[in-house]
Amino acid sequence: MLQTIIAGHHLPVCLYNASGAMCTTKSDLGLLADSHAGAVLTKSCTLAYRNGNPKPRYHETAIGSINSMGIPNLGYEVYAQTALEHHQKYPPKPYFVSVSGMSINENLEILAKLNQTEQIAAIELNLSCPNLPGKPQVAYDFPQTERMLDAVFDVYQKPLGIKLPPYFDLVHFEQIATILNQYPLHFVTCVNSIGNGLVIDWQTETSVIKPKGGLGGIGGDYIKPTALANVRVFSQLLRPSIAVIGCGGVKSGSDAFEHILCGATAVQIGTQLMKEGTDCFARIATELQQIMQQKGYTNINDFKGKLKTIE
Ligand code: RRO
């Protein structure tokens, strides 16, 4: 009932983790593989191991999260190796790798290596990390995004999608969609955290995370309306062969239902996975299924993208 297809790969359930949430270590990836998630996606990786930003760098509030992790990861080789082990143990569950090199050349080098690992179902190229001091988010710089995608598709022919930051202006949606429609992308994931928010503790009069003077990417309930708008508008502007994967503020079956109604082909879970652990997948899947049954839907395509607006 909840099955879907991403980049030609069948997912038994249209829910899986957002990159960054519980997917950095081999043991995290094992827990995701063992869970009811329909796929596994790794932490964004670089060529070499990275420690990331100084701690505290992640903080939860009652309705969301702020992070400035700074891409802590084990280096791409570990995630390629884990793909082999994953494939032997869980052959039907697609394994996606998120890539976030520090430059075009670093991304090209990582992709050239990952190209050799058949067990990777697809790459999610992250063009939207908000937490590198001194580095802008690539996908807010449209000429840089074009240069990146030109270079990537020159060397990489296997299934690839990109992780976008949230956009807020309809002119920007149209400009970036026109660029993305030129490339053989399999999917776009909307959205990364809303960059450079500030959560503070009024009692101690202090910011809650250490990097960048307390600024970090915001996730959770705060970002659901922005995420839904991005899913909706990109579903309308992109070629139909580019699937939109929804990410942002999903903590219940109705949140996932809303993302699909706006056009999502699958839905990722970040902050809620961090709060609840991998049990969230079975719970949210059950809730989504109940909503579908009540409405008489048997497949997500029965309502995908069918949001009604008021005339
Ligand atoms: O590691 C991070 O700081 C991070 C990344 Br790569 C990202 O894409 N989004 C985010 O909120 N944090």
Task: Say whether 128 is catalytic.
Answer: yes
Q: Best of 43, 129, 138, 193 to mutate for ligand 1, by most ligand atoms within 8 A of CB? A: 129
pLDDT of residue 303: 98
Cβ pair 85, 56 in contact under 8 A? no
The Å distance, Cα 298 to ligand 1 centre, comes to 35
What's the order of all strands across the beta sheet hosting 187-190? 15-17, 264-269, 243-247, 187-190, 160-164, 122-126, 95-99, 40-41
Q: How far apart are CA 229 and CA 249, in angstroms?
A: 12
Q: Which two tokens stand for residue 243?
A: 């699937």
**Distance, C-alpha 30 to centroid of its chain:** 19
Strand extents, DSSP E, 241-300: 243-247, 264-269
Give the distance (Å) from ligand 1 centre to CA of residue 129. Answer: 5
pLDDT for residue 133: 87
pLDDT at 91: 83
| Catalytic one of 23, 45, 129, 280 | 129
Taking the centre of ligand 1 as the mean of its atom positions, its distance from the CA of residue 296, in whole angstroms, is: 38
pLDDT value at position 157? 86
Predicted pLDDT of residue 29? 98
Query: What are the DSSP calls for 148-205, one per residue?
Result: HHHHHHHH--S-EEEEEPP---HHHHHHHHHHHTTS--SEEEE--PEEEEE-EETTTT
* Helix 142-155 × helix 104-114 angle, to 10°: 30
Give the C-alpha separation, 293 to 255, whole Å: 16
List the end-to-end C-alpha distance of the chain, in Å, as a whole number.
Answer: 31
241 is annotated as an active-site residue? no
Name all residues whose Cβ lies below 6 A of ligand 1.
20, 44, 67-71, 100, 126, 128-131, 192-193, 217
Report CA(218)–ligand 1 centroid distance (Å): 10
Give me the count of residues in the chain.
311
pTM of the full predicted structure? 0.98
The strand pairing partners of 40, in sequence order, are: 95
**β-pairing, 215-220 with 64-67?**
antiparallel
4-53+71-194+221-302 sits in which CATH class? alpha beta
pLDDT truncated to tens, each residue of the chain (311 aa)?
999 999 999 999 999 999 999 999 999 999 999 999 999 999 999 999 999 999 999 999 999 999 999 999 999 999 999 999 999 998 889 999 999 999 999 999 999 999 999 999 999 999 999 999 888 999 999 999 999 999 999 989 899 999 999 999 999 999 999 999 999 999 999 999 999 999 999 999 999 999 999 999 999 999 999 999 999 999 999 999 999 999 999 999 999 999 999 999 999 999 999 999 999 999 999 999 999 999 999 999 999 999 999 99
Domain ranges for the chain? 4-53+71-194+221-302
Distance 289 CA to ligand 1 centre (A): 31
Half-sphere exposure of 209 (CA within 13 A, CB side): 25
Query: Which listed residue (68, 100, 128, 235) is catalytic?
Result: 128
Picking from 286, 305, 155, the residue whose alpha carbon sits closest to that of residue 236 is 305
Q: Which of 28, 193, 268 to mutate to test the pocket of ligand 1 (most atoms within 8 A of CB)?
A: 193
Convert 29-58 to b/e letters by CB count within 10 Å (16 or more is b).
bbbbbebbbbbbbbbbbbbeebebbeeebb
Q: Which atom, in ligand 1's list, is nearest to the CA of 193?
A: 11
